[in-house]
Structure 1
């Protein structure tokens, strides 16, 4: 079998063999030795950037860099300076450069050295392999955005060809388009699906309306990986039923790596081979496992660009049974910039509204998708796509649930839409606060 995927990475200068050796060496480290391994890697990467990266050295200032908890928290705002000012000495060229999606509202350009990025690829290869997926052989059905300018579009299509992927652009997911997607599955031997949660869920609802299980029309399909947006329990049940394959929840960040990936036991296993992930409170102090806080990530290998104690913009909880070698992400609550502030002074993750509303609004399958915006302290707008308008009885039920789970006297307006606006990458932002 001609391994086109591996060859492409090699041609692009990514040292995949060396990355594989390093990654597999880390896998062999025992549970009892893992704490020591993480501490050594942390010290190593901090020391490197203190000595070779003026941007990071300046950020640390007089802090005692031997005391981990005294190191500064790096935010996306810190990184909104020209990339050249943030690179380590000796890494001005021959590096991997990309841009974050901007879903947090603070996009920026980042860099990784070639070895660090090769490790990211190997981390993906290893975890997808848990489900029998081989990037050189398995054919991917990809539900992702795509650049709409001619050059960007064909460049992405060519990359898809090299990586054994067929992309379904997700900016238009009307029934006519979903019908074409279904036909493509009927005539293609896809091995797995990978894509944005909301788009795959929309496709599953279309299958539900036709009472079709995708695995019946595409028997080669093994698994579906969803990413980038929240996966709710009832959506997971819907996906499992109408795709007919296991659903794997992926949590990653383009500037880092896969942060967590659902293992075959259904645990959301944190990547401890290339990253160190900690959960911190508002004062940047570690919280006990089982307690929610800010997700803060350190890239243990990226020498080109510092990602040390980097606040990714999410709120999460590590499971009480987590170990240094095998941390488990118990829950991802949402983004730190998606907090609703209520008239009573209460703060609530915006996804609480979405979750409470969702349990009622989608009950009969009429509503396909919806998003919530907070426009004032007590005012919210819900835009939704459906076959028919919401009834006054449904709206009353939603109001009752919100009164119960959040607080009374919040005002909601409902607008039925033909489609919902997605980001230029095709992501659907489920809750947005417009308050300053």
Structure 2
């Protein structure tokens, strides 16, 4: 069979064969060899950017770059300047892979990867998806993502879908009529796996639950579902397993970096320790012990075109106590650092806790399909939701009681029923947003 996917990478100048060979070598390292490899790559990438990248050299300044923990933390605000100012010597927009972050953190920016680094990203994807029997050249993907609406952007994505052997299910409008059309496609096409935004895939599962349909029954070729980009709650994972009849795999990545963590066949969220170095840091930028929550800070060990060294991705998480340098395990992804509810008492609560407390009540009877929470004032919140019938006083009282118990009393809520929720231009659903 023609390996269209590999061929398309090769034609676009990504040395996929060499990248696969290097990754295969790294995976076979002993623990000692891996520790030495990480040390060498860290020194090499810092040395390269201090020498060849004026933006990074200025950021480090005269600080002691010999000590890793003294290196500055790079954040998204640092990167909001023109790309030409951030590229390394020898790289231009003509000879790199260019893309833009989704902006779900509130700070979108354009980034670059050199072609070898991007080939490694794809090699890493190939290995991890392969853990679950997915082959990008031959497996047929049902893709739940957004798509550009302009003609050129749309055509480009559709062509990439053709090369990637996937059929796209756009997620901007997920009404029952549209979901019914999605279901018809599953009845006629031999999909091998689903991949896409968690919220959209969960919504499809709720639609199937209402119709009492298991997806595997109508599409027997399905093998696995891989969700990405948004939080996967345990209750949703159970629902997906039940309504799809296949294993559910959780992916955590960032377009500017790589796959950060991917659920392995043992059900652990295995961190990428081949092309990335992942640290969990406290507020003073010092590493915390495994098992302790902190900010997720990541170094791209191979990207020479653009520095991502000790880059604060804006997420909070915990590495499992049993993690090793060669096989770190992400125990928990707690959410984004900027998704925090500030309450009248001075208490700070992660937005996702807030969302989760509400979710446990609001979705009990299957009436509410999805919802988002917006903090409009220190004591005031709007809950926008899509449902068959309006929430009743009893449900509203339950939500108020639960938030009083888990967060604090006397918070005010305004419930707004909508036909569709606002998604980002890529189709992601931001579950909690603070406007204060």
Residue equivalent to 1:167: 168
Residue equivalent to 2:373: 372
Report the alpha carbon displacement of residue 31 of structure 1 after superposing the two structures with TM.
1.8
Pairing 1:144-183 to 2, within 5 Å after superposition? 144-183=145-184
**Could you tell me how far apart the structure 1 residues matched to 2:4 and 2:33 are?**
37
Report the alpha carbon displacement of residue 155 of structure 1 after superposing the two structures with TM.
1.2
Secondary structure, aligned partner of 1:23: helix
Residue equivalent to 1:347: 348
**Could you tell me how far apart the structure 1 residues matched to 2:195 and 2:10 are?**
24
1:370-420, Cα deviation, whole Å (9 max, x unpaired): 000000111011000000111111111111111111111111111111110
Residue equivalent to 2:329: 328
Report the alpha carbon displacement of residue 121 of structure 1 after superposing the two structures with TM.
0.2
Residue equivalent to 2:227: 226
Pairing 1:414-425 to 2, within 5 Å after superposition? 414-425=415-426
Secondary structure, aligned partner of 1:13: coil
Residue equivalent to 1:307: 308
Residue equivalent to 1:31: 31
Query: Runs of 5+ in structure 1 lacking a partner?
Result: none
**Could you tell me how far apart the structure 1 residues matched to 2:152 and 2:112 are?**
22
1:26-49, Cα deviation, whole Å (9 max, x unpaired): 101112332222111101100000
Pairing 1:67-216 to 2, within 5 Å after superposition? 67-92=67-92, 93-216=94-217
Residue equivalent to 2:320: 319
**Could you tell me how far apart the structure 2 residues matched to 1:119 and 1:237 are?**
33
**Could you tell me how far apart the structure 1 residues matched to 2:124 and 2:34 are?**
18
Taking structure 2 as the reference length, the TM-score comes to: 0.99
Secondary structure, aligned partner of 1:284: coil
Residue equivalent to 1:277: 278
Report the alpha carbon displacement of residue 196 of structure 1 after superposing the two structures with TM.
0.2
Report the alpha carbon displacement of residue 356 of structure 1 after superposing the two structures with TM.
0.4
**Could you tell me how far apart the structure 2 residues matched to 1:265 and 1:32 are?**
24
**Could you tell me how far apart the structure 2 residues matched to 1:274 and 1:396 are?**
49
RMSD: 0.6
Is 1:240 aligned with 2:216?
no
The alignment of Structure 1 onto Structure 2 pairs a total of residues equal to: 435
Secondary structure, aligned partner of 1:343: coil
Is 1:383 aligned with 2:387?
no
Secondary structure, aligned partner of 2:43: helix
Residue equivalent to 1:61: 61
Secondary structure, aligned partner of 1:20: helix
Report the alpha carbon displacement of residue 63 of structure 1 after superposing the two structures with TM.
1.1
Query: Runs of 5+ in structure 2 lacking a partner?
Result: none
Secondary structure, aligned partner of 1:48: helix
**Could you tell me how far apart the structure 2 residues matched to 1:370 and 1:237 are?**
19
**Could you tell me how far apart the structure 2 residues matched to 1:272 and 1:391 are?**
49
Report the alpha carbon displacement of residue 329 of structure 1 after superposing the two structures with TM.
0.4
Residue equivalent to 2:260: 259
Taking structure 1 as the reference length, the TM-score comes to: 0.99
